[in-house]
Amino acid sequence: MGTIALTGSAGGSGAATRVRLEHDGHRVIGVDVRDAEVIADLATPAGRDAMVAAVTDACGGRLDGLIAGAGVMDDKLAVPVNYFGAIATLVGLRPLLAASENSSAVAISSNSTTTHPSLPPEIVDACLAGDEATAQEFARQGYSVGYAGSKLALARWVRRNAVTDDWIGAGIRLNAISPGVIETPLLVGMLEQMFD
């Protein structure tokens, strides 16, 4: 069994993933804005840096697994958390995975990346270029742009990086998964607001 860092561990699918991992005998270092071993706000550069430092300290310099699962639907936070927070997690904690002999990382994307044909490609391009401010401007067009755009950019980043020397070349498997709709408190709350 190994040590796995999990962002978004306090609620929804992250909490369920944590239960499963711990049931299987893994040690989980949870990262979230509340109720976690590492309290960090992945929407901010300072929070991302603090997360990397705290996880590094908590795991003793070695991780067997990483799940970049923190995600939000809010159009003001989707790009900072879903894309830039996830990338900071993957890049910042990659050296800890490299210290393990058989490590893997998973980024949680979304099937919404395939259900929004009118998604402006500029939001994805801005994310991949590291231009958070420009990506945020596109995200202000609403949920379907910010959420889907940030998740599509994350999937594309994984696809581009998984095959590089930093990842599989260093013995670290990197994958993205794109789940469909999951009934979480976040989704239920959003639907209640839409239909009230």
- 70 within 8 A of 41, measured Cβ to Cβ: no
Return the closest-CA partner of residue 26 out of 98, 100, 110: 100
Catalytic residue among 147, 148, 153, 174: 147
Strands 103-108 and 172-177, bridge-based pairing: parallel
147 is catalytic: yes
Enumerate the β-bridge partners of residue 107.
68, 176
Nearest-angstrom CA–CA distance, 3 and 93: 13
Nearest-angstrom CA–CA distance, 165 and 48: 24
Catalytic residues: 147
